[in-house]
Amino acid sequence: MKIRPRNRRIGILLSGRGSNFEAIAANVSEGKLWAEIAAVISNVESAPGLARARDRGLNAICIPSKGKSRESFDAELVRALTAADVGLVVLAGFMRIFSAVMLQAYPNLILNIHPSLLPSFPGRDVQQQALDHGVKFSGCTVHLVNEALDGGPIVLQAVVPVMDTDDADALAARILVQEHRIFSEAIDLVLSGNCELQGRRVRANQ
């Protein structure tokens, strides 16, 4: 099955700091990533990433999630994404799980970045999980979003060595450098329309 966004307009969703958003936005404005940031949406008004998006003059929207059911929040999100004519949704530190409402509106058209080599260490406190387990390598994963938490088909990964001296913050910082690199690469790959999904395997046809 081909993965083919209908356009190159991306919607970036975030809940916090927004360093992945910044890296993507910089690549777009420097012409390194052929995409248009059609909307930046946060469920948290105070998210620094949302302020950064406003500073860049982007279409920055807050849709508060507090007190809403998953379905009604997702329905609002779909309306905003559709209004902005978004073809591909990019989760850059977006701390919400989707209902079928979002997954059906954007099937295989939502990318997430996760700071471990999935399927190892899904969920939260990921770097601490990796340290506690004693792995010698960790990294990051860009994957398609489906109903399984951090469980969708893998688009790209990068490997990062774990040092004996690492604490969770040091490991997170080293992984973040790679996140900023591979997220734009993965977006570019999917936007190219040359990706194919075979079972769980995402293959890039050149």
Which residue ranges make up the site for ligand GRF (CB under 6 A)? 14, 16-20, 49, 92-93, 113-115, 179
Give the residue nearest to ligand GRF (CB).
Answer: 93
Q: Which is nearer to ligand GRF, 182 or 195 (CB)?
A: 182
Q: Which is nearer to ligand GRF, 81 or 113 (CB)?
A: 113
Q: How far apart are CA 10 and CA 77, in angstroms?
A: 14
How near is the Cβ of 206 to ligand GRF at its closest, in Å?
A: 27
How near is the Cβ of 194 to ligand GRF at its closest, in Å?
A: 25
How near is the Cβ of 166 to ligand GRF at its closest, in Å?
A: 15
Please give the positions annotated as active site: 114
**Which tokens go with 179?**
């996140």
Q: Which is nearer to ligand GRF, 79 or 160 (CB)?
A: 160
Q: Which is nearer to ligand GRF, 15 or 108 (CB)?
A: 15
Q: How far apart are CA 73 and CA 67, in angstroms?
A: 9
How near is the Cβ of 144 to ligand GRF at its closest, in Å?
A: 14
